[in-house]
Chain A
Amino acid sequence: MELNARIPSGPLAEKWDNHKFSAKLVNPANRRKFKVIVVGTGLAGAAASATLAEQGYKVSTFCIHDSPRRAHSIAAQGGINAAKNYQTDGDSVFRLFYDTIKGGDFRAREANVYRLAQVSNNIIDQCVAQGVPFAREYGGSLANRSFGGAQVSRTFYARGQTGQQLLLGAYSALSRQIHNGGVTMFNRREMMDLVVIDGQARGIITRNLINGNLESHWADAVLLCTGGYGNVYFLSTNAMASNVTAAWRAYKHGAGFANPSFVQIHPTCIPVHGDYQSKLTLMSESLRNDGRVWVPKNKGDKRKPADIPEEERDYYLENKYPSFGNLVPRDVASRNAKEQCDQGKGVGSTGLAVYLDFADAIKRDGEETILRKYGNLFQMYEKITDSSPLEEPMTIYPAVHYTMGGLWVDYNLMTTIPGLFALGECNFSDHGANRLGASALMQGLADGYFVIPTAIGNYFGESSIAPVNDSDEAFINAQQQVGDRLNKLLQNSSGGVGGKVTVDEIHKELGRLLWDNCGMARNKEGLEMALKKLPEIRQKFWDKVYIPGSGSDLNQTLERAGRVADFLEFGEIMIHDALNRAESCGCHLREESQTEENEAKRDDENYSYVSVWEYQGDDVEPKMHKEDLTFEYVTPSQRSYK
């Protein structure tokens, strides 16, 4: 596997412009001859579909939901970063670039991140032009808020529903193209496999979720905009249907998978409360602008928060990190919450929670102001927990939220399979080992609106692409294999010989194994144990999983089973990756790699690279390749937010 990142030459600030100039173009009249498949309609997918259709390409777009408006980008709450410097508080493209590289703990590529910071400003302009109702100041200019990991105020927002508004903006642009005939939209379709012909990505096999039909679709390029794999842990803040299947199928066809063990654990989620729990709910990190995080100073203090006097509270983030306080990056906030709970200072019925207290902010700004900023979040919290954050502090605990790892892509967002692109959370490219808040929306839209048009034109311009058809042998074979696999999943549908387990039982078992051994804190022993244990769970799944119903109609159990089957394979490369990376970095603490003060210790000498995994066959250990990271414009430093 060759890993050529194809970073353009020239100074950092000129690379993107140079590249846009030197990239091959497709003349407008020829674009209609090229067919592009886009899988997924989140920010990246909807934006890419709309933009490529506007430019004249023939686009087919696929989504798993009943409508392209429902992808999980919609749930992002807090905001979107851009280097507009509207607040004149010292922001710049370079600072956004620097913060993102540093926030990612120096495990991302300089050139990609710089480009992200550059196009961030175009994104805001684009979204405003679409009619996204961003928050405004009284004078009518755009409002900003600050966010973790930054000392400037650069986050644009639409109440606590920024993701919703940006997604609906992209969805409206997509809808316009569907109306104009530029995009053919396929709802309720799940991508089951990728079709590679002569080394190029040439199409996909989908399953119509309503009638179970398998369908072949050919194209000249395939864009995976299929999000992250956080649901491998079962409990995460991801939507229920979020999965790794599309990316995993691509991996099995030869796409390198980068940094699979880089998973972000978000510090402000509603704590777990029971075995039946199906997902975790995030409370936007923007709450840390006004909320103060604390635990009782004394272990096992079971008094109500109001009964604990000020001097017996430990505002541990403010005390430990005076310059960033409650606004330390997500990984630092998460790790410290875990540490406090491990020391027995956790609160709530499980002891796995810390307080996020708005009493001081309400005293300072008044209820009305606080509610204007966070009203919908408070309401959501109260619905779930039956407790009002106006009256008593929220309880929060970290939860799996975002996956920085993903398909390896070059500067053009192309994977190691020519013609296969990965956009948004699905790729690994911009966030290193930790993503800063309000940067996911930025990346999804940057990839979809601004990066892919150049990249795709360049690919079509420089490649020779032979005609194919969806009745070609490669498609027929791929469809056959998908059908066989579905039948294998359904083999126990009349009652398994070895007893029955449900899909969710297996998924929960896998999730617990990974959360305990490959989560926020990891060590060699635990990872090795997990690596041994995982094949046993996988075997149990195939022997005993029980799926009622048939493959020829809407069967949600069968859908979940297919995704869990892929998670069960994928989990293994996560563990391999975590084992290999014997350094603490970004979101994870490797217990063997700590400073004397028990802070995470990065090891640049040995691990300043992207680890890229190559499929070698089922039951064969995957092969790891390295893309070395070099830093010309920033000097990697041990992050300090003190």
Chain B
Amino acid sequence: MSNIDLTLQIWRQKNSDALGKLETYTLDKISTDMSFLEMLDVLNEKLTMEGIEPVAFDHDCREGICGMCGAVINGVAHGPEKETTLCQLHMRHFKTGDVLVIEPFRSRAFPIKKDLVVDRSAFDKIIQAGGYVSVNTGGTPDGNAIPISSHIAELAMDAAACIGCGACVASCPNGAAMLFTSAKISQLCLLPQGHAERKKRALSMVETMDKEGFGNCTNLRECEAVCPKSISIRNIARLNREFVRAAFSEG
């Protein structure tokens, strides 16, 4: 363990309507065992005592699973480490003298609420459009009634691991939500439970994705590179097949 000194340039914006700008702060003696968010906690304690309003940032579980945290660090969503959310990024990956530019996830579909906090409710709308199996509580068959090969279950789980953080959108030059949408579509089209509604699901989720202001995929693979759960763009290929199959078939 050691300590490092850093310069931070952080996006400050009072609310959705206000203009924002980067403010510079310095932090000394940051333990390299700290997580990135703990470093921001230290900054906020310092700012508070100096009478400056702390930096607003979303976070909750701090163990990489809730998908609440996220910011762009020196141009990379969730920072330089692969397969890592911001809360699981540790300061040992930085060194004294580093200048860290910290910005919110920017995209047309994710309006900034304050500082690093953005509104990702467009993701919820996509799920509401069909990211489920339409089954009511009760009256379901025994769990073992449908055998599902472990290979398929694993593939479905790979897709289902998405935490809905939005890094894929923030890193996509087109602001596309294809990786996010395809992860849910893949999970449910791989599993037999999801087959009955697969056509409707694909059409409706893609339509909502477009309506919410997300862009289209041009296979740049930026999303895959920053995804903290390494969701593969194979899922996007699967979404495209599902969509085409649905668009060109009847019923």
A residues sitting closer than 8 Å to B (CB atoms) are 47, 50-51, 54, 65-72, 74-75, 84, 86, 122, 124-131, 133-143, 156, 158-159, 161, 163-165, 168, 171-173, 175-176, 178-179, 185, 187, 210, 239-241, 273-274, 276-279, 281-282, 379-380, 383-384, 386, 449-450, 453, 495, 500, 502, 504, 546, 548-549, 553-554, 556-557
Bound-state CA distance A126–B44 (Å) is 44
The residue that A133 contacts in the complex, of B15, B143, B156, with Cβ under 8 A, is B156
Contact A548 B65, beta carbon cutoff 8 Å: no
The residue that B153 contacts in the complex, of A86, A134, A379, A549, with Cβ under 8 A, is A134
Q: Within B109-123, which residues are at the interface with A (CB < 8 Å)?
A: 113-114, 117, 119-121, 123
Contact A133 B31, beta carbon cutoff 8 Å: no
Bound-state CA distance A84–B88 (Å) is 36
The residue that B143 contacts in the complex, of A51, A128, A380, with Cβ under 8 A, is A128
Contacts A/B (CB < 8 Å), 21 sampled: A67-B123, A67-B164, A71-B66, A72-B66, A130-B132, A131-B191, A133-B160, A135-B150, A135-B153, A136-B150, A158-B157, A239-B61, A383-B88, A383-B90, A386-B92, A500-B49, A502-B45, A546-B48, A546-B49, A549-B53, A553-B15
Least Cβ–Cβ distance between A93 and chain B, in angstroms: 15
Least Cβ–Cβ distance between B80 and chain A, in angstroms: 13
- Contacts of A138 on B, CB cut-off 8 Å? 149-150
Give the interface segment out of B32-40, B211-219, B241-249: B32-40
- Contacts of A135 on B, CB cut-off 8 Å? 150, 153, 157
Contact B140 A129, beta carbon cutoff 8 Å: yes
Closest residue to B85 on the A side, CB-wise?
A: A383
- Contacts of A450 on B, CB cut-off 8 Å? 137-138
Least Cβ–Cβ distance between A239 and chain B, in angstroms: 4
Contact B49 A281, beta carbon cutoff 8 Å: no
Closest residue to A76 on the B side, CB-wise?
A: B65
Contact A69 B33, beta carbon cutoff 8 Å: no
Contact B41 A241, beta carbon cutoff 8 Å: no
- Contacts of A54 on B, CB cut-off 8 Å? 136-137
Contact A161 B161, beta carbon cutoff 8 Å: yes
Least Cβ–Cβ distance between B231 and chain A, in angstroms: 13
- Contacts of B200 on A, CB cut-off 8 Å? none
Least Cβ–Cβ distance between A134 and chain B, in angstroms: 7
Contact B193 A140, beta carbon cutoff 8 Å: no
Number of A-B residue pairs, CB cutoff 8 Å, is 224
Bound-state CA distance A557–B14 (Å) is 15
Verify if B104 is at the interface (C-beta below 8 Å from A). no
Least Cβ–Cβ distance between B230 and chain A, in angstroms: 10
The residue that B149 contacts in the complex, of A136, A178, A185, A282, with Cβ under 8 A, is A136
Closest residue to B208 on the A side, CB-wise?
A: A179
Verify if B222 is at the interface (C-beta below 8 Å from A). no
Contact A122 B138, beta carbon cutoff 8 Å: yes
Contact A276 B138, beta carbon cutoff 8 Å: no
Bound-state CA distance A65–B58 (Å) is 9
Least Cβ–Cβ distance between A453 and chain B, in angstroms: 7
Contact A380 B49, beta carbon cutoff 8 Å: no
Verify if B220 is at the interface (C-beta below 8 Å from A). no
Bound-state CA distance A212–B193 (Å) is 42
Bound-state CA distance A339–B160 (Å) is 41
- Contacts of B63 on A, CB cut-off 8 Å? 75, 279, 281-282, 380
Verify if B168 is at the interface (C-beta below 8 Å from A). no
Other A-B pairs beyond A67-B121, A140-B150, 7, CB < 8 Å: A70-B60, A74-B61, A129-B135, A142-B143, A210-B114, A504-B41, A554-B117
Contact B147 A69, beta carbon cutoff 8 Å: no
Bound-state CA distance A23–B191 (Å) is 37
Contact A173 B149, beta carbon cutoff 8 Å: no
Bound-state CA distance A495–B58 (Å) is 26
The 8 closest A-B pairs by CB, nearest first: A140-B147, A172-B132, A129-B140, A133-B156, A179-B128, A133-B157, A128-B143, A136-B153
Contact B132 A176, beta carbon cutoff 8 Å: yes
Bound-state CA distance A165–B129 (Å) is 19
- Contacts of B113 on A, CB cut-off 8 Å? 210, 554
Contact A274 B34, beta carbon cutoff 8 Å: yes
Contact B142 A241, beta carbon cutoff 8 Å: no
Least Cβ–Cβ distance between B95 and chain A, in angstroms: 15
Bound-state CA distance A125–B1 (Å) is 48
Least Cβ–Cβ distance between B248 and chain A, in angstroms: 25
Closest residue to B144 on the A side, CB-wise?
A: A141
The residue that B148 contacts in the complex, of A140, A178, A276, with Cβ under 8 A, is A140
Least Cβ–Cβ distance between A120 and chain B, in angstroms: 11
Bound-state CA distance A546–B188 (Å) is 49
Bound-state CA distance A72–B66 (Å) is 7
Least Cβ–Cβ distance between B12 and chain A, in angstroms: 12
Contact A129 B193, beta carbon cutoff 8 Å: yes
Least Cβ–Cβ distance between B234 and chain A, in angstroms: 16
Known: A129-B133, A133-B191, A449-B137. A86 touches B144 (CB 8 A): yes
Least Cβ–Cβ distance between B50 and chain A, in angstroms: 9
Least Cβ–Cβ distance between B73 and chain A, in angstroms: 16
